[in-house]
């Protein structure tokens, strides 16, 4: 499957799960800020990706669990340097460019862009 | 039994599918407000679509709860899609059919169809009313730092009575 084919399928998943227009789903768009995803939508997206691509996504594999409650990752409302390293190891598909310039915990959602989902699927299919 | 919008479970295939019915009666308060007579129009008592969505949520919710022996606190998290195309009035029977499309530790997705039997035209059988697709969260796996009571407050006595009177054994 080519990159463009994967992008098109991911876009269809997001249009369906988040009731957004196709043209809103750009590679740079963040799921929460730009596309309005809320917590349950992440499970919906996981289910729909599993159905679309025929693989199983383990809990925490695509989206991390309880980052904000983990004192090793977050202190004083900011992701620590060690936390950033661990998150990058756990989530190699995510886009950390914006979070690194402003590591406030409220900005963690920015690592989940449409491009990050495409990246995740490409890695998963490549395994 | 104040907030029960299904009367009887008629079919249950664990982890897959559940069918429930509701008999709509003119003694239900909401039918008199939905819609009352006006100066120019006669009353039109029809089952509110929102309560049919609740009926599907209860049907699908029990199916999802039963899948894990009612150990999970199953809460409705999202109405993914709802289409209601027909009115249902007093004296008719609504049939809800819910199917689990996906389920894991965190929650479940269900697909549902709603049909109606008009007893005055029973020979036509159940006719389609609409579809309702839902998502449920297993609350204890999605706490976001919140604490919830130990006991399963979602599936209370009313649901247990519904299952028992429908001849369904409650796991655990």
Q: How far is A40 from chain B (nearest CA, A)?
A: 6
CA distances from B107 to B7, B74, B166 (A): 25, 8, 25
Structure tokens at A72: 């090793």
Looking at the structure, do residues A1 and A51 belong to the same domain, yes or no?
Answer: yes
The mean per-residue pLDDT over the stretch A90-109 comes to 90
Which chain A residues are Cβ-neighbours of B145 within 8 angstroms?
A: 66, 68-69
Q: Tell me: do A3 and A43 sit in the same domain.
A: yes
pLDDT band at B1 (very low <50, low <70, confident <90, very high): very low
Whole domain around residue A99: which residue ranges?
64-111
Residues A105, A127 within the same domain: no
What are the strands of the beta sheet with B127-138, ordered from one edge?
B8-13, B17-23, B92-103, B107-118, B127-138, B74-84
Residues A49, A9, single domain; the answer is yes
Indicate yes or no: CB of B109 within 8 angstroms of CB of A47: yes
Q: Could you tell me the domains of chain B?
A: 8-28+44-146 (3.10.129.10)
Tens-place pLDDT, residues B38-61:
999 999 999 999 999 999 999 999
Which range has the worst mean pLDDT, A114-123, B9-18, B121-130, B138-147? B138-147
pLDDT reading at B141 higher than 80: no
Q: Chain-centre distance of CA A67, in angstroms? A: 13
Residue B93 has pLDDT above 80, yes or no: yes
Q: In terms of Cα–Cα distance, which of B100, B33, B39, B96 is closest to B66?
A: B100
CB-CB neighbors (< 8 A) of A39 in chain B: 142, 144
For the stretch A15-68, pLDDT in tens is: 999 999 999 999 999 999 999 998 889 999 999 999 999 999 998 899 887 777
Looking at the structure, tell me whether residues A85 and A49 fall in a common domain.
no
Q: C-alpha distances in angstroms, A38 versus B32, B41, B60?
A: 37, 43, 22
- Nearest by Cα to A112 from A9, A41, A20: A41
d(CA B100, CA A7): 27
Q: Is A43 on the interface with B (CB under 8 A)?
A: yes
Q: Which two tokens stand for residue B156?
A: 């209370």
- Cβ–Cβ < 8 Å for A106, A3: no
Higher pLDDT, A102 or B145: A102
Total domain count, chain A: 2
Residue B145: predicted pLDDT: 54
* Residue A105: per-residue pLDDT: 87
């Amino acid at each position: 499957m080519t990159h463009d084919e994967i992008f098109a399928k991911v876009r269809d998943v997001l249009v369906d799960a988040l009731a957004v227009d196709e043209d809103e789903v750009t590679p740079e768009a963040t799921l929460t800020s730009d596309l309005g995803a809320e917590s349950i939508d992440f499970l919906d997206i996981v289910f729909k990706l599993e159905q679309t691509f025929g693989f199983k996504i383990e809990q925490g594999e695509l989206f991390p669990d309880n980052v904000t409650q983990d004192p090793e990752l977050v202190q004083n409302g900011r992701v620590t340097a060690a936390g950033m390293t661990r998150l990058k190891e756990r989530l190699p598909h995510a886009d950390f460019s914006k979070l690194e310039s402003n590591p406030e915990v409220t900005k963690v959602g920015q690592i989940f862009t449409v491009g990050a989902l495409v990246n995740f699927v490409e890695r998963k299919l490549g395994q | 039994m104040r907030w029960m919008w299904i009367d009887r479970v008629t079919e249950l295939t664990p982890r897959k599918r559940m069918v429930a019915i509701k008999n709509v009666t003119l003694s239900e308060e909401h039918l008199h407000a939905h819609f009352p007579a006006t100066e120019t129009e006669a009353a039109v008592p029809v089952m509110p679509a929102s309560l049919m969505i609740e009926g599907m949520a209860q049907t699908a919710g029990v199916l999802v709860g039963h899948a894990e022996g009612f150990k999970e606190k199953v809460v409705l998290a999202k109405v993914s899609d709802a289409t209601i195309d027909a009115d249902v009035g007093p004296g008719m029977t609504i049939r809800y059919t819910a199917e689990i499309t996906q389920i894991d530790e965190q929650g479940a997705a269900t697909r549902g169809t709603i049909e109606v039997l008009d007893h005055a035209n029973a020979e036509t059988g159940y006719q389609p009313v609409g579809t309702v697709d839902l998502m449920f969260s297993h609350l204890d796996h999605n706490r976001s730092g919140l604490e919830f009571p130990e006991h399963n407050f979602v599936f209370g006595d009313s649901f247990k009575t519904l299952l028992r009177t429908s001849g369904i054994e409650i796991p655990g």
